[in-house]
Structure 1
Amino acid sequence: MLQHKPTAIVCDMDGLLVDSERLEWRVWREAAVEHRIDLTDERFLSFIGHSAEEGEKLLREYFGAEFDVGGFRATCRARMRTLMDAEGVALRPGAREWIEFVTGLEIPVAVATSSGPAFARERLGDLWSHFATVVTRADVARGKPFPDLYLEAAARLNVSPDACLALEDSPTGARAALAAGMPVLVVPDLVTPPEELRALVTGVYESLHDVRSAAERAWNVARD
């Protein structure tokens, strides 16, 4: 459970702050039909939270060493571009309120995302200006599940990792933050955290609205 107010906060992006993972699933289903592969729900969910490199390894594991990973990813990117142009990407429930709440308390907030910088800026939209720094896959040697993104965020904030609070939606991302030495809150989107992970994290919440309510109580902050 939440207790002391953290020195800094580090948030994941896709699935936590922005509702992009359902769009990705639509895109991947369409691309799977085009590339004639059996992409089950279980297989798709195993990609969530992973870096592109780790995702490519999984694609080859599932569909063979000769599978055209580059072609498949290009199809996904093109379809995602079309979908984003047509529909945009909404914020997750409570995301704006949570970020405005913690920045209003003068707690610096960073983003640690497996996405690239262009996607990050587009998906965060006007929320971008609230963050002290945004760390993307282009900034580190290894993506999630490795801790590099979270360690880089803490370094940029000039805060020890154990004084930060990380927020994630996926088990993969939560393990990356734990490996960095950060306490972690999980707000699941498409993937439910397993029991062994629940035992390791600081808390699991249904929404960012619930996280804010818990923080208000724990930090003795009156709601405006």
Structure 2
Amino acid sequence: MIKAAIFDMDGLLIDSERIIMQGCIQAAATIGITYTQAEYVELVGRVWADSTRLMTQQLGSEENFQHVMQGLNTYLDACNHVFPLKPGAHKLLQFYQSQGIICSVASSSPIPHITHRLSHTGVLDYFSHVTSGQEVSRGKPNPDIYLLALQKLGLQAHECIAFEDSELGAQAAIAAGLRVVVVPDLRQPSDLVRSQSHQVVESLEHWLQNHAALAGCII
């Protein structure tokens, strides 16, 4: 029986990646740059500093990057930087709460983004701890963020399960020794991550439907 579940946020708990990606694509188009989903996916799971460096390279200059960020912020202002929950997220958190399983967040996003997005979807109070990529020196796929999350929980890796949507995030959780459930968002996991994961499922709702009856055994 596990004692805690550690969740990524963007693309896993909340449906933010597609909206942010579309904002980047539209902003880049205004300066004549064709920005693709394949390029954006390379950013997913990375801490802000790493994403900034990579996206600047993708866009060709710091000036282009700043223009796209300004356009993205304008695009996101229309929705107050709030995104919908992914299917099954709320129900799974409710289920784990009913089972006495601690829930925690380990997200590459800055802490203000984490608290804003989760509070506006009504689920922030389900989490006993929040760990941000800002708190570690190395971002995903390094295990640092998950090792810090485990430290905050005061638990060992075998006592927890992690939920991730991205390749880099899954690699980080696996490297920390966690059993990982991958819920793909913008891209399917590689064969290597798939083979090393506890399970790959279509959605958090799918995971809950298939495993709620096993409470006390697997989850």
TM-score (norm 1): 0.88
Asked if 1 retains the 8 angstrom alpha-carbon contact of 2:20 and 2:76, the reply is: no
Corresponding residue of 1:176: 172
1:199 partner SS:
helix
- 1:39 matches 2:10: no
Shift of 1:107: 0.7
Residue 162 of structure 1, aligned match among 141, 158, 165: 158
Shift of 1:56: 2.3
2:101 partner SS:
coil
Shift of 1:220: 5.9
Corresponding residue of 2:88: 94
2:104 partner SS:
strand
Residue 63 of structure 2, aligned match among 48, 62, 68: 68
- 1:79 matches 2:74: yes
Structure 2, unaligned runs of 5 or more = none
Shift of 1:144: 1.7
Moved more, 105-114 or 44-53: 44-53
Asked if 2 retains the 8 angstrom alpha-carbon contact of 1:150 and 1:177, the reply is: yes
Q: Which amino acid aligns with 1:109?
A: C
Asked if 2 retains the 8 angstrom alpha-carbon contact of 1:23 and 1:80, the reply is: no
TM-score (norm 2): 0.89
- Distance, in Å, in 2 between the alignment partners of 1:220 and 1:150 is 23
- 1:198 matches 2:194: yes
The Cα RMSD (Å) is 2.0
Q: Deviations over 1:24-47 (max 9, x none)?
A: 111111221134323122111221
Asked if 1 retains the 8 angstrom alpha-carbon contact of 2:56 and 2:65, the reply is: no
Q: Deviations over 1:148-172 (max 9, x none)?
A: 2111111111001232100001111
- 1:135 matches 2:131: yes
Structure 1, unaligned runs of 5 or more = none
